[in-house]
Amino acid sequence: MTFTNRVFSGIQPSGDLHLGNYLGAIRRFVPLQDTHDCIYCVVDMHAITVWQDPDDLRRATREVAAAYVAAGIDPKKAVIFNQSQVMQHAELAWVFNCVARIGWMNRMTQFKDKAGKNSENVSLGLLAYPSLMAADILLYKATHVPVGDDQKQHLELTRDIAAKFNNDYAASIAAQGVGQDDGSFFPITEPLIAGPATRIMSLRDGTKKMSKSDPSDQSRISLLDNADGIAKKIKKATTDPEPLPETVEGLAGRPEADNLIGIYAALSDQTKAQVIAEFGGKGWGIFKPALADLAVAQLGPMGDEMRRLIEDTTTIDAILRDGAERARVIAEATMVDVRSIVGFIR
């Protein structure tokens, strides 16, 4: 018996999805539905690790679901749902809270970044949420997770939790007869490393990641920006005075140039070398309009479809409910075994 070849990934509904979310994650989810059993979640339980206005959370949850569908994920082929509709996520997270070690959580660099000097006053959920993230993945026994650089540490923690659970409960797993050929119950999930332009930087500062928290709206392209807004932001993007380099090596020390060429490469399914072969030596007055036209062509129709779906809450909510029902079947099958493995009487 072997694990199903399954992909799990989730996006937090924190509002204002941008180009970095699309190129770094959502766009890469689409082709996987043709090669893997795919489960794509809107992780609304993660969102409340910091306080959320309930109406904003509902709107942002629908926005992420709309982005999935507008990008090309088929809700009949893949499973699209919001996490809070499948309460087995919380149940398995508690089991994993009792498997994971506090030292593991304290080492999470993302917690340190978000908590800052106020770590004594943030929610317990912010510290423990990597355990919930592990539950998200392992509840479906996902064999693969698409990850960017900022999530690699969390996937390593998921692998550590799976290995410790398999080891701690090895005898019970064997006694229940629910292990794989190697005796494991949970897979040691592998990363699916994305290709170029997985890390999209600010249009105002090429050394900083594109983020919705940046006070300047000009720093990011929102997936809900219209064509005129997209073009204006690209044309106003920070650059240096030099023309585009003739080689990829010439991008060293030029973060804004590297970022814009990387965006063009990702949107056009090319390498940076191919983009430089076309535009190397040319000025920004030629490259920026070409990038703006490409971005509008790629993102404009998706933004239109997102806006339509967000307004059609009946359709979006039906997609989320259907996905949750399908996810719940898999999740409950896992939890029936987990309850027996750990010794819960049912």
Q: Which residues are catalytic?
A: 114, 209, 212
* Helix 88-97 / helix 124-138 crossing angle, nearest 10 deg: 110
The DSSP secondary structure of 30-94, one letter per residue, reads: HHHTTTSEEEEEE-HHHHTTS---HHHHHHHHHHHHHHHHHHT--TTTSEEEEGGG-THHHHHHH
CA angle 303, 53, 136 (to 5 degrees): 75
Strand (E) positions, 175-309? Answer: 190-193
Per the structure block, which two tokens stand in for 56?
Answer: 């904003």
Q: Residue 323 and residue 337: Cα distance in Å, rounded?
A: 22
Q: Are 18 and 213 in contact (CB under 8 A)?
A: no
Polymer length in residues for the chain: 346
Task: Please tell me the distance from the alpha carbon of residue 19 to that of residue 260, in angstroms, as a whole number.
Answer: 12
Q: Which is nearest to 113 in space by CA: 162, 153, 73? A: 153
Strand partners, 40: 9, 80
At 292, list the tokens. Answer: 């703006």
Structure-token pair, residue 259: 């970022």
